[in-house]
Structure 1
Amino acid sequence: MKSSKRKICQVLALAISSISASAAMAAGPLVQGGGSSLVAPTIGNLTATPPGEIGLFGTSEATFTYYSVGSGAGQSAFLFNAPSNFGTGVTGTVDFANSDAALSTAQVTSYNNTGLGSTEGPLIQIPYIVTAITIPVINAPAVTSTTTPQTTPGQTHSISLNDSDLCGIFSGKIKDWNAVVNPENGSFYSATSKPITVVYRADSSGTSELLTRHLHAVCTTANTATGVTFVDSLTFANTTAFPSGVPSNFIGATGSGGVHTTLVGYSSAGTPAAVAYLSPDYANQFLAPSSSSASNPLAVASLLNATNGKYYSPLYTNATIALGSISAPSGATAAGNPNLWVPVAGETGYTALANPASGYPVSGTSQIIVSQCYLSSTVSKAVVDFLTDHYTNASFASLVNGNGFDTVPSSFKTAIVADFLSNTSGFGLDIGDSGTCSGVGR
């Protein structure tokens, strides 16, 4: 009898534990977003191992969910409040999006003037993290340098590329390692032929935008394949850049994970030689020591900054150096313009970001896009508190650094908190502002 009672109690305990766990997972309202695959390991989900920011934030206020679908899909999901962009069967509200590419001036204007801004409130776009874009080199010639920086676990020096190498490889002008010039000595890397496969993002990707922004700034007809003209774009293989289609040695992959998997396969097989572009958290754990997405390490190149003649690894500190003296918008009018927080073509600071005077040449910021207004005050508070943790909590900063990124400069943090999270600036731009958000919200 005692044994039976004990078993019944054990069953009840398990049932109660299961119910409690389910309740914890479902605590608070659902706050869902998605987009950039670059920041996906950092943001994470409740079940992510190691935990990302969502895991650190917990479920006491809301249950955050993130869909890694690429920057372009994330932008579109937010601008049209279209959760189906996150995947078949996803419903509800798009509360936020992350994109490594800034929204264009036209996108912001359309949203605010003729889109959902009139019924759901203005959008807010602010830099979320600082990132370099790495250039993985697979089955490349042996490293012989004694001066270039370390970029990969277990090495002392790295293969380095300059802008002409990047323009030649990513345009299809250079298709073999024996045609790649070592910027250290001006000679070719290898006399032995090693044909190069270029792996690019086939989806709409902010990582592509950060690369093509730089290529657009530095590539010329002299160092680029005939007929190829790079433009700043989320779509690498766009028809303006490649009017006749990408070269035959190019292969597309979807998402940061897709690029990483393709490159790991080439590395394991010992062939072919390959070059790609990828965020640090999918490259290796020298750059992103706590990223499980980088557990199968890829060798990456250092890059020569053409302006100051120095070699830089894609460490997050070198990405922050590349931002230079760019500062947060000052004053109510400027702070209320989403494009001034992340310079786009035509805005002050764009050229400096596209081809920085110092630091790692292919660097920038990844953005978060949120609404100023939410119909639920609970959602509004949860978004504010999540962002406050992201920008001010040391544990969140450590997680960002561990994934190979830097936190935004302190001047940006101060301005973001003052303008959007607390309204200590007095601009009325804060999330949930009673004047702006009366009767509107998503």
Structure 2
Amino acid sequence: MKTTSFAGRLLGTTSLVVLSAAAILGAQHPAAAQTTISNGIYGGGSTLSSLALRQLFDCYAGTTVAGDGQSFSPAFTIAPPSPNLLPTSCTQFSTPVEGMFAAVGAGNGQRAYIANDPHQLFRGSPDSAPALVRKPSAKPPFRDTANPNFKSYPYPRLDFATSDLPLASSVSSLTTISFSNFLPSTNWQNTLLIAALSKSTASFNTASVGAPIQVPAMEVPVAIAVNTSNSASGVTWTNQSALSPNTQAGGAIQLSTAQLCAIFSATVTDWHDTSTMIPYLDANGTQQFQHFYDDNTNGTLTPVAYTSGRLPIKVVYRADDAGTSYILTNYLANLCPLLDPTGTYNYKKIFTGVGIDGSTMANLPSSKFSRLLNNIKAVKASDNSDPYDVDDDQERPDPRWISASGSNHEALKIGTDPRFAGRIGYLSADFTQPYAQTATEEIAGTTISAAAPLSASIQNEALRIFGVYHPGQTDVTGTAQNFVAPTPDNVAQAFSGLAAPSLGGSYNAWNIYAQRYAVGTVLGGVDYSNLSVIGIPLVSTSDYALTGASYVNVYSCYADASGTRVPTLKNWLAWFYGGSVSALPAYNPATSNASNPGYDPNVAQLIRNNGFHELDPTWATNVLGVYLRTSTTGGTQGSIAAYNPSGAQTDGCQGVSGGAK
């Protein structure tokens, strides 16, 4: 059975290629009839959700698209996951709709969305023009060469964007830098270099596109990826907290909140460290101290250093604007300062930015990991990094912080190669084993592949409250507890602590990161007042603490001269969100639509197969009611609508002229 490579599932987000997109709707399956593709949905943004989105579009079409390389699984199961494979039931129904998605990163997706310009779907974060921006990868194809309607890039329009960080809280703050005057201006798929000669400030134009819409699409865990291979220089691991097999989700190592705060603040910089004392909180919320390696006891075993000799901790991070960086820094900004109430370790300054040079404004959480590095430098005068380490795939001598562009690039730079032993980073779960098997990158026409990295299990606050500071330790009920793995069920546990938004209100009501604990919320001796609910989930000992959401951003009003654009988009969204609501009638892709959404179990199966969890059914029901079913009361302007050039405007087009291009 043929399966596509790791990069093949990623839609081409390689390190030297910036405009990555793929012909998404395809799956090779036995004796299935070819569907005639007549309509397209064009999107771009987050690499985090791109693998799952590709498979969802494949299933929606139930057809083969040239060069896709996907295979259907004869016996699809959610556990264990089956990377690259789709349920055979996806072939039973089909629609004449092809989805195209440019996996360019969350920040770049937001730029394209705010500017309403598909030309902004390129990789990298240029600061000025003229600038070179990166082109699409060759593998997998970033357009469907077999379909005459979808042969070129950049896309003719933008129907939706995805991001794992929230939009700015006010419409007036929805601004971006828009690049223009590209050379060449068309057919980017056929050129080696693309230059952006001009830039300008662009703002979200409500008069043209209506009210902004952001709704969560999936509940996502960000996995801590760790290379626990014995090093090429002969240093071996004595890790006692690994699970068996270590290839399972969270199986590589178990790390406490105290250890993660120490690693990401450069407080501890070597896996062999046996001297540094780091702070943690006990079940009463009292600050205590332990050696860095003390968490490697599995509850009862004699503590030993993680490695037989010196092995630097090297953090691989996203250099581009990334939703995974936002989710990670949201976790660190909320939890780490609690461990250091006296400021001895400068955790508040490092993880929030507050207090640096007298600043009272936080600069974290952020999609820019560089802000954390700048905070470390400001506090410690150095982040111990090599200033020559840049994202050029040429490893510099002993860099402490290693940059990567895109999720697949980061996965490849962590991997399981003994040369990279000791590296740690953060990736959405679908870029780690068992949800992915290989990491692949194409550089200058050469394909580089390696095993996908393993992931860690991490401590959550409920375990701390129950007195579990080390993996395997017995809690107050007498039960031995390991830390929590990045799995679909565990991320759903964390997400369940959030309150679903009402049917009214603006787009910002859907911002999960804005939900805060009420003043006076105290548990286990710790005051969580005004801290992020999703940043510190407190539902159960099964909460996966590094949890966030991947958002879909759409417009309230679209230009739709053919009369097919809006129905096509809304019907796909209705099928997608209906897949979270099992109480709906059982409809397939061909019968589910915005007026009568139905439940297709394939949606949840595909999302979970990538290590994510489908959206909570209450949230999904509200999305259907506010934005997809035709109404005059939902949201701020009603459901998504098409602009009527010759008549009255309804729903999302009320007071709008033209609609999104």
Please give the range of the TM-score, normalised by the shorter of the 2 chains. 0.7 to 0.9
**2:49 corresponds to which of 35, 39, 44:** 39
Distance 2:404 2:163 in 1: 18
Q: Displacement, 1:283?
A: 0.4
**2:351 corresponds to which of 226, 229, 238:** 229
Distance 1:36 1:122 in 2: 21
Distance 1:329 1:227 in 2: 32
Query: CA deviation digits over 1:126-173, x for unaligned, max 9?
Result: 00000111111113634423xx76684369955211112111111222
Equivalent residue, structure 1, for 2:223? 134
- Check whether the contact 1:178–1:189 (CA below 8 A) recurs between aligned residues: yes
Distance 2:36 2:85 in 1: 17
Give the counterpart letter for 1:437 in structure 2.
C
- The yes-or-no answer on 1:218 pairing with 2:335 is yes
Equivalent residue, structure 2, for 1:378? 564
Query: CA deviation digits over 1:316-356, x for unaligned, max 9?
Result: 111111123313211423xxx11111234476797111111
Q: Displacement, 1:100?
A: 0.8
Give the counterpart letter for 1:328 in structure 2.
A
**2:457 corresponds to which of 299, 302, 325:** 302
| Counterparts of residues 23-34 of structure 1 (less than 5 Å) | 24-25=36-37, 27-28=38-39, 30-34=40-44
- Check whether the contact 2:515–2:533 (CA below 8 A) recurs between aligned residues: no
Secondary structure of the structure 2 residue equivalent to 1:300: strand
After superposition, the Cα gap between the structure-2 partners of 1:312 and 1:174, relative to the gap in structure 1 and judged at 3 Å, is same
After superposition, the Cα gap between the structure-2 partners of 1:415 and 1:400, relative to the gap in structure 1 and judged at 3 Å, is same
Query: CA deviation digits over 1:7-38, x for unaligned, max 9?
Result: xxxxxxxxxxxxxx99945x22x431111101
| Counterparts of residues 87-236 of structure 1 (less than 5 Å) | 87=122, 90-106=154-170, 110=174, 115-139=204-228, 141-145=237-241, 152-153=246-247, 158-179=252-273, 180-183=292-295, 185=297, 187=303, 188-190=305-307, 192-220=309-337, 221-223=343-345, 228-230=350-352, 231-236=364-369
Distance 1:165 1:107 in 2: 39
- Give the TM-score normalised by the residue count of structure 1: 0.82
Distance 1:225 1:114 in 2: 35
Q: Name which of structure 1's ranges 101-110 and 310-319 shifts more when overlaid on structure 2.
A: 101-110
- The yes-or-no answer on 1:257 pairing with 2:408 is yes
Distance 1:53 1:413 in 2: 25
Q: Displacement, 1:290?
A: 9.2
| Counterparts of residues 267-416 of structure 1 (less than 5 Å) | 267-285=416-434, 288=435, 296-309=451-464, 311-333=483-505, 337-345=506-514, 351-357=532-538, 358=540, 359-376=543-560, 377-391=563-577, 392=579, 393-416=600-623
Distance 1:396 1:142 in 2: 41
Distance 1:363 1:142 in 2: 29
Query: CA deviation digits over 1:64-96, x for unaligned, max 9?
Result: 210011000001110011222213662532211
Give the counterpart letter for 1:183 in structure 2.
D
Distance 1:241 1:250 in 2: 12
Secondary structure of the structure 2 residue equivalent to 1:211: helix
Query: CA deviation digits over 1:200-222, x for unaligned, max 9?
Result: 00100000000000110112344
- Check whether the contact 2:640–2:651 (CA below 8 A) recurs between aligned residues: no
After superposition, the Cα gap between the structure-2 partners of 1:331 and 1:194, relative to the gap in structure 1 and judged at 3 Å, is same
Equivalent residue, structure 1, for 2:109? 74
Q: Displacement, 1:250?
A: 0.4
Distance 2:502 2:224 in 1: 35
Secondary structure of the structure 2 residue equivalent to 1:278: strand
Q: Displacement, 1:118?
A: 1.3
Distance 2:457 2:384 in 1: 25
Distance 1:101 1:53 in 2: 28
Q: Name which of structure 1's ranges 393-402 and 324-333 shifts more when overlaid on structure 2.
A: 324-333
Give the counterpart letter for 2:462 in structure 1.
T
Distance 1:212 1:156 in 2: 20
Distance 1:262 1:54 in 2: 28
- Check whether the contact 1:100–1:365 (CA below 8 A) recurs between aligned residues: yes
After superposition, the Cα gap between the structure-2 partners of 1:371 and 1:421, relative to the gap in structure 1 and judged at 3 Å, is same
- Check whether the contact 1:151–1:300 (CA below 8 A) recurs between aligned residues: no
Give the counterpart letter for 2:555 in structure 1.
S
**1:429 corresponds to which of 633, 638, 641:** 638
Distance 1:343 1:350 in 2: 12
Secondary structure of the structure 1 residue equivalent to 2:453: coil
After superposition, the Cα gap between the structure-2 partners of 1:226 and 1:406, relative to the gap in structure 1 and judged at 3 Å, is closer
After superposition, the Cα gap between the structure-2 partners of 1:413 and 1:269, relative to the gap in structure 1 and judged at 3 Å, is same
- The yes-or-no answer on 1:83 pairing with 2:118 is yes
Distance 1:130 1:257 in 2: 20
Query: CA deviation digits over 1:376-407, x for unaligned, max 9?
Result: 13111111111112122211221111111100
- How large is the RMSD of aligned CA atoms in angstroms? 3.5
- Check whether the contact 1:138–1:273 (CA below 8 A) recurs between aligned residues: yes
Equivalent residue, structure 2, for 1:8? none
- Check whether the contact 1:42–1:399 (CA below 8 A) recurs between aligned residues: yes
Secondary structure of the structure 2 residue equivalent to 1:177: coil
Q: Name which of structure 1's ranges 389-398 and 221-230 shifts more when overlaid on structure 2.
A: 221-230
Distance 2:210 2:94 in 1: 26
Equivalent residue, structure 1, for 2:278? none
After superposition, the Cα gap between the structure-2 partners of 1:114 and 1:85, relative to the gap in structure 1 and judged at 3 Å, is closer
Secondary structure of the structure 2 residue equivalent to 1:332: coil
Equivalent residue, structure 1, for 2:233? none
Structure with bigger RCO (C-alpha 8 Å, 6+ apart): 1
Between the two proteins, what is the percent identity of the paired residues? 24
Q: Name which of structure 1's ranges 133-142 and 212-221 shifts more when overlaid on structure 2.
A: 133-142
Secondary structure of the structure 1 residue equivalent to 2:565: helix
- Check whether the contact 1:151–1:314 (CA below 8 A) recurs between aligned residues: no
5+ residue gaps, structure 1, are: 1-20
